[in-house]
Structure 1
Amino acid sequence: MPALKLLSVFALMMVLLWLRAPLAPVIFGSSCLLALLYRLAPAAFLAALRQTLTDPATIELEIVLVLIMLFERLLGKHGYLDRMLAGLHNLLPNRRLLAAMLPAFIGLMPSLGGAFFSAPLVAQATADTPLSAEEKSFINYYYRHIWEYCLPLYPSLLITSRVCELPLTKLIQALLPYGLLVALLGWPFLRRIPVAKGRPGTGCYPLVKEVLLNILPVLAIVLMVLVFQVRVLIAVGLVLGVLLVRHRYTPLQFLPLFREAVQVKILVLVLGIMFFKQMILTTGAVASLSYLLEALAVPEFIVFGIFGLLVGIITGTVSYSMGIIFPVVVAATGGQVSMPLAVFVFIAGFTGAMFTPMHLCLTLTVDFFRADLRQVLRMLVLPEAALLVVAAAVYIIAT
C-alpha cells in the first residue's frame, strides 16, 4: 500500500529522533528515502530540491530567521533584557505576578534553553516562600513558553504559517486566546506565594519607564505585525536597522555580531523541513495518505492530534515538531489545512513538546532547582490537558 511507505519513513524518523540522532540529517535522509521508496527519477529529485531552494517563501523564512537571530543577540549584548528585568523586579510588589512575569519576559526571546536564564530570577523571586523545588520548576518552565502561541518572533509560528500556507497574522490571532488561557491555567500554582513583598509603591514611574523603554523593540515588532499587519520580515528588519544605527554599528563591527548570532545549523534544519514537505508533494504521497485516513474509523483530527502529540514528545522542540507534523498533515488533507485544524494540531504538538525530557528548557530547569522530574510532569498534566480539550472543542464547533 503506497501510504505505508510514507508511514514507514515517518516511523523511522521517530525511532532515530528517539535515539537522539541529529534532526537535520534525519530530515534530509528521510526525504531521500521517500524518493527511493516512491522510485522518484533523479531529475525529479533535483527539480524538487531546486524548487525548495528557489521558493520565495523558503528564502523569506530563512532571511527572517537570520534577522531574528541578530535581533536577539543585539538585545542581549546591549543589556536590554537585563535592564528590563531589573526594573520589573523592583516594580512589582506582588510576588505571584513577579514569579510568573520573570520567565515570561525572558520568553520574549526565542532562545533554546532560555528557561535556564530565568531560573535564577525565579529562585530569587520565590526565596523564603513555601514553594517546593518542583513548584518553582513548574513556574519557571511553564511561564517561559506562553509567548510561543502568539509572538511572531518564534520559528514555530513562521514554519506553521509557511507550510500550511496560512497568513501569519490570522494564525497568531487564532492562537492568541490560547496564550492567555495558558497564563490563567497556571495561576493556581502561584497561589502558595505570598502576595506582597513589602516593597514601597512610591516612585514607580521611573521603573515603569525603564521596563517599557527596554521592551520597546519587541513591542514595536509585535504591534507592526499584529496591529498594522506589516510582514514580519519588514518589521524585524526595520527595528533591527534602528537598533544598529542607534548603537552606531559600522560594517566592521557588524561582522562579528553576525558571526556570533547566526546559527547555520538552524537555517539548514529549516531548509530540510521545507525540502521534506516538497518531497511529500513530489512523490505523490499526498493522495495515498488521504485515502488511508478516510478508511480509518477514527476522525482524522484525532489521528492528527495523536500524531502531533507523539512528534512533540519525541522531538522536544516546538518549532522542530511543527516542521515534521505539518508537512504530513498538509499531505493528508490534500493541501487544504483549515485554521481550526492548524490550531488544534499546533496545540497538540506543543503539548507533546512540553511533556518530554528532550525539551531542553525542562531538563535545565529541573536540574537547576534539583527537582523531581516526575512531579513536575504531573503538575503539567492538568493545565496542558485542559488546553488540548479546549482546542479540540473549538475545532469540533468550528467544523
Structure 2
Amino acid sequence: MEGLKLLLVFGLMMVLLGRQAPLGPVMLGSSLLLAALYHTGPVAFLGMAWQATKSPVTLEMEVILALIMLFEHLLGQQGYLEKMLLGLRGLIRNQRLVMAMLPAFIGLMPSVGGALFSAPLVGQAAARTSMAAEEKSFINYYYRHIWEYFLPLYPGVLLASRLSGLPLPRLIAALAPYGLLVILLGIPALRRVKIEPEGEEREGLPASHHALAGELFLSILPVLVVVALVLVFQVEVGLAVGLVLLVLLVRHRYTPLKFWHLCREAIAVKTLLLVWGVMLFKQVLVDTRAVDGLPSLLAMLPVPEFVIFGLISFLVGMLTGLTVAYVGIAFPIVMTAVGGQISLPLAVFIFIAGFTGNMLTPMHLCLALTVDFFKADLRKVLRMMVGPEAALLAVAMAAYLVW
C-alpha cells in the first residue's frame, strides 16, 4: 500500500540517524528515495528542490536563522550573555532553574530559530556543571516548547481553533494545563544535573540585589526588546531581530570590516544547509502526496477510532516536525470521519498526540539545530524525550476517556 512506502522511508531514516549518520545527507537521501518510490523523475525532483529553495517559508527561515546567529554572536562578543548569566546566578540560587528559564523565555518568541537562540545561553549556564551535551540539548529543546501547547502566538493553536470550529478561549483553557504538565514532567531531568561549586565566579559582581537586577536588566534588554516587538507590537521575528541587531551594530561602532568578520564567525553554512534539507523533504512529502495513504493504512488496525485519529496526528507530526502540518492534515481528516463536528476532548487529544510526534523527530528543526549546536548524540536526546512525552500522551488519552 502507498502508506507503507512512507513508513519505510521514515523507518530507514531513523535507522540511519540511530547509526549517527549526519542529518543533512540523511534528509537529502530520504528525499531522493521517497521521490523514487512515488515514481518521481529526475526533472520533477529538481523542480521540487527548486520549489523548496525559493519557497518564501524557506527563505524566511534562512534569513531569520542567519540574523539570530549574528545577534547571538554579537551579544557574546560584547559581554551581554556573560553578564546576563552572572546576574541570573546572583539573583536565583537554583542553577537548574536558571537553565530551564533561559529557553523558556526565548520560547515566547514563535520563531523557528528560537532553539538556536537559547542554546548558547544554556551552554554558558551549564559551563560550571558536569552536564553532558545530551542533557544540555534536552533542557534547551524541551523547555523551549512549553508555550507552544497553548499560546495563541503560535499558529498551530490558531489553526486548530479555526479548523475545529471550537472557540479559541475554550481551546486555550483546555490546552493550558498541558503546558504546566510539561514543566513538571521535565523536573526529574533537571534534578539529575550535577552542579559544581561556583568558586570565584561571583567575584566582581555587584553586592546588592538591586545592583544585580540592574546589571541583569541591561544585559537582557536587547532580548527583551525583541520579545516586546514580537509579542506586543506584532512585528515579524526576523524584522525584530534585524532592527535590534542594527541598533547594537551602531552602538558598538561596528565598521564594515568588523561586521564582515562577525558574519564569517557567526553564520554557520552547515546549519543553513540542514534547514534546506528538512524543507526539501517536506516539499517532496507534499508533492508526492505521500501522507494521503496513511489514514487507509491505519484504519486496518484493530483499535478504537480515537486511537486511529491519534496515530494519524502522531505520525504526521513525526514526519513533518511542524505543528501546522499535523493540525492542517489530521484535523480535516478527523472532522470528516466524525461528521463535521469535533468535540473539545477529542480536539485536545489529537493536538497533544501530534505534538508528541512533533517533539520526537529529527524533522523538528529545533531538535536538529540544538543537537547540531551541542554536538550531542541524537539517539540519547530522543531517549531522554520519550519518558516525559509518553507520560504527556498518556495523560491526554486518559483525559479524553474520562472527559
**1:5 matched to which residue of 2?**
5
Decide whether aligned partners of structure 1 residues 89 and 286 sit closer, same or farther in structure 2, where only a CA change above 3 A counts.
Answer: closer
**1:216 matched to which residue of 2?**
221
Counterpart-to-counterpart distance in 1, 2:63 and 2:401: 37
1:350 aligns with 2:348: no
**1:36 matched to which residue of 2?**
36
**1:236 matched to which residue of 2?**
241
Structure 2 counterpart of 1:38, one-letter code: Y
1:46 aligns with 2:46: yes
Are the counterparts in 1 of residues 84 and 220 from structure 2 also a CA contact under 8 Å? Answer: yes
Alignment of 1:179-218 (within 5 A): 180-185=180-185, 203-218=208-223
**1:119 matched to which residue of 2?**
126
Alignment of 1:118-137 (within 5 A): 118-121=125-128
| Structure 1 residues 329-364: Cα deviation after superposition (integer angstroms, max 9, x where no partner) | 8667779998874554334543688xx9xx859x99
Question: Which of the residues 290, 302, 323 maps onto 2:295?
Answer: 290
Counterpart-to-counterpart distance in 2, 1:271 and 1:180: 33
Q: How many residues align?
A: 344
Alignment of 1:289-368 (within 5 A): 289-298=294-303, 299-303=307-311, 307=315, 323=321, 341-350=350-359
Counterpart-to-counterpart distance in 2, 1:381 and 1:264: 31
Return the offset for 1:21.
0.6
Decide whether aligned partners of structure 1 residues 179 and 147 sit closer, same or farther in structure 2, where only a CA change above 3 A counts.
Answer: farther
* Structure 1, unpaired ranges of 5+: 124-132, 312-320, 367-372
Counterpart-to-counterpart distance in 1, 2:281 and 2:291: 13
| Structure 1 residues 103-148: Cα deviation after superposition (integer angstroms, max 9, x where no partner) | 533775735975553334457xxxxxxxxx99xx98x776545541
Are the counterparts in 2 of residues 142 and 186 from structure 1 also a CA contact under 8 Å? Answer: no
Counterpart-to-counterpart distance in 2, 1:22 and 1:365: 12
Structure 2 counterpart of 1:119, one-letter code: A
Structure 1 counterpart of 2:217, one-letter code: L
Decide whether aligned partners of structure 1 residues 166 and 332 sit closer, same or farther in structure 2, where only a CA change above 3 A counts.
Answer: closer
Are the counterparts in 2 of residues 64 and 232 from structure 1 also a CA contact under 8 Å? Answer: yes
Structure 1 counterpart of 2:125, one-letter code: S
Are the counterparts in 2 of residues 280 and 286 from structure 1 also a CA contact under 8 Å? Answer: yes
1:21 aligns with 2:30: no
Structure 1 counterpart of 2:97, one-letter code: A
Are the counterparts in 1 of residues 310 and 354 from structure 2 also a CA contact under 8 Å? Answer: no
Structure 2 counterpart of 1:100, one-letter code: L
Return the offset for 1:38.
1.3
| Structure 1 residues 293-321: Cα deviation after superposition (integer angstroms, max 9, x where no partner) | 33334423542576589x6xxxxxxxxx8
Counterpart-to-counterpart distance in 2, 1:270 and 1:340: 29
1:271 aligns with 2:276: yes
Are the counterparts in 2 of residues 103 and 122 from structure 1 also a CA contact under 8 Å? Answer: no
Counterpart-to-counterpart distance in 1, 2:313 and 2:348: 14
**1:130 matched to which residue of 2?**
none
Q: Percent identity?
A: 41
| Structure 1 residues 255-314: Cα deviation after superposition (integer angstroms, max 9, x where no partner) | 1111111111111111111111111121231322232233334423542576589x6xxx
Q: Which deviates more, 277-286 or 220-229?
A: 220-229
**2:255 matched to which residue of 1?**
250
Give the alignment's TM-score, normalised by structure 2: 0.67
Give the alignment's TM-score, normalised by structure 1: 0.67
Decide whether aligned partners of structure 1 residues 332 and 346 sit closer, same or farther in structure 2, where only a CA change above 3 A counts.
Answer: closer
Q: Secondary structure at the match of 2:278?
A: helix
**2:339 matched to which residue of 1?**
none
Q: Secondary structure at the match of 2:44?
A: helix
Return the offset for 1:3.
1.6
Return the offset for 1:49.
1.6
Counterpart-to-counterpart distance in 2, 1:203 and 1:47: 62
Are the counterparts in 2 of residues 2 and 285 from structure 1 also a CA contact under 8 Å? Answer: yes
Structure 1 counterpart of 2:43, one-letter code: A
Counterpart-to-counterpart distance in 2, 1:351 and 1:286: 18
Q: Secondary structure at the match of 2:32?
A: helix
Decide whether aligned partners of structure 1 residues 113 and 90 sit closer, same or farther in structure 2, where only a CA change above 3 A counts.
Answer: closer
| Structure 1 residues 208-258: Cα deviation after superposition (integer angstroms, max 9, x where no partner) | 111111111222222222233221111111121121111111221111111
Decide whether aligned partners of structure 1 residues 349 and 46 sit closer, same or farther in structure 2, where only a CA change above 3 A counts.
Answer: closer
Counterpart-to-counterpart distance in 1, 2:257 and 2:249: 12
Return the offset for 1:87.
2.0
**1:57 matched to which residue of 2?**
57
Counterpart-to-counterpart distance in 2, 1:166 and 1:268: 31
| Structure 1 residues 134-174: Cα deviation after superposition (integer angstroms, max 9, x where no partner) | 9xx98x7765455411589xxxx9xx969x9889xx9xx89
Question: Which of the residues 145, 158, 161 maps onto 1:149?
Answer: 145
